[in-house]
Amino acid sequence: MVPRYTRPAMAAIWAPENRYRIWFEIEALACEAMAQYGGVPAEAARVVREKGDAAMAAFSQADLDRIDEIEAETRHDVIAFLTWLAEKIGPESRFVHLGMTSSDVLDTCLSVQLVQATDMLLADLDAVLEALKRRAFEHKYTLTIGRSHAIHAEPTSFGLKLAGHYAEFARNRERLVRARAEIATCAISGAVGTYAHVDPRVETFVAEKLGLEPEGVSTQVIPRDRHAAYFCTLAVIASGIERLAVEVRHLQRSEVREAEEFFHPGQKGSSAMPHKRNPVLSENLTGLARLVRAHVIPALENVALWHERDISHSSVERNICPDGTIGLDFALARLAGMMDKLVVYPDRMLANLESLGGVVHSGEVLLALARAGILREDAYRIVQRNAMATWTRLGEPDGRTFRENLDADPEVAGRVPAEVLDAAMNSDAHLGALDHSFTRVFGEAGPARG
């Protein structure tokens, strides 16, 4: 991922320094397990740990350069690292990597890195959830128009809209927790996964120390269905980000103007048009979501490796693992900040709600006519006729509101009391179930309406 969309903490997880520290930890733990179960002298395991820890603590650019120099000759990254490590440890290095294969180190390391990245993404999701909850309660009773097909439908609460997004991100958090559990696996099983040269107890020991679970059957590599499911989860989260971003983009449109991204002092919207206040953050989030979702197909295609293993997945994962987690980390952090500072215009929401002369209450009026004894088919015809008469003459001198047209309709006048129509056209009626919805989503209804 380019630096523009990279946060340092997430980038550090994928830096060579972190990767090599994890590689050493896997090798040192395996040595210690072999010393415990036989095969490696305890003193040798102690030397590997002490000298290796010292080398990793002093790890510098010179060490990176040395490993790269060795790899340029060996054309094998794990062998290059092991050779460098042997230079640091000395004769006891002959007990490092006994019975193991490169994938034992690579796949187990990748699991550790993905767990580290996931813990950061979970914290990011918590920040999004916190911002959405606060704003949802803030605008629990803020009336706005609900839209279907982008057309005015019926009144709703802006807080309820945000509660819906909160519920989606809460589900996404649960999905990510499950994905973390599925990806947190360890394989120390040797060539083609038979444990022919390494005791299975070594794998169990290393897995426990790293907070992982041993892979059931590793076939030398951890099966890539786990990774495919993980990236599908990231893609679903990205889609949730985009859904909220698109909502903000629509609400910020000039003709809607119900909410907008915070516009910082000194910020510029256009090099040519000084008046512009563009939804650049939400547009950026839409683009980042596309990138995260784009990793799903390569991850799925990584599942079908040849026989026990090949490395066709390797070049893919060297790209999608850092890029996917770094991109999503940045997007979630940006979304949390955007929603925390989102500027909301309740008066504009109310004006838009009332801008169609009251036709948005047609559904409740239909029910009122049906309850008054009018057949539903007839009631629908009456209500639609008056709604269309209002809609088609909006803004014209002789145009009338929906209520005025209903009052003048002989099929309504005298059959439906005025107070019934008043109640049917009261937007507050659409807020009656908010406590129910908020309690179901947040576990609490929040303070009563002021």
Q: Show which residues are catalytic.
A: 149, 270
- Tell me the C-alpha distance between 140 and 156, whole Å: 10
**Euclidean distance between the first and the last CA atom of the chain, given in angstroms as a whole number:** 47
Nearest to 105 by CA among 83, 77, 86, 85: 77
- Tell me the C-alpha distance between 437 and 137, whole Å: 12
Q: Please, is 18 exposed, middle or buried when counting C-beta atoms within 10 Å of its C-beta (0-12, 13-18, 19+)?
A: middle
Q: Please, is 201 exposed, middle or buried when counting C-beta atoms within 10 Å of its C-beta (0-12, 13-18, 19+)?
A: middle
Dihedral class, residue 73 (left if φ above 0, else alpha if ψ from -120 to 50, else beta): alpha
Are 446 and 137 a contacting pair, CB within 8 Å?
yes
Say which residues have a Cβ less than 8 Å from residue 285's Cβ, sequence separation at least 6: 241, 242, 245, 331, 334, 335, 338
Tokens representing 94?
């002959």
- Tell me the C-alpha distance between 282 and 275, whole Å: 19
Within 10 angstroms of residue 143's Cβ, the number of other Cβ atoms is 18
Q: Where are the beta strands (DSSP E) in 158-192?
A: 185-186
3-class DSSP state of 265: coil
Nearest to 98 by CA among 195, 32, 197: 197
Q: How many CA atoms lie within 13 A of 277 on its CB side?
A: 14
Tokens representing 13?
């997880």
Are 382 and 369 a contacting pair, CB within 8 Å?
yes
Tokens representing 213?
């679970």
Nearest to 421 by CA among 383, 382, 366, 365: 365
Tokens representing 77?
């990254």
Positive or negative CA dihedral for 386, 389, 393, 398?
Answer: negative
Residue the block writes with tokens 């809607």: 256
Are 259 and 341 a contacting pair, CB within 8 Å?
no
- Tell me the C-alpha distance between 331 and 93, whole Å: 43
Say which residues have a Cβ less than 8 Å from residue 255's Cβ, sequence separation at least 6: none
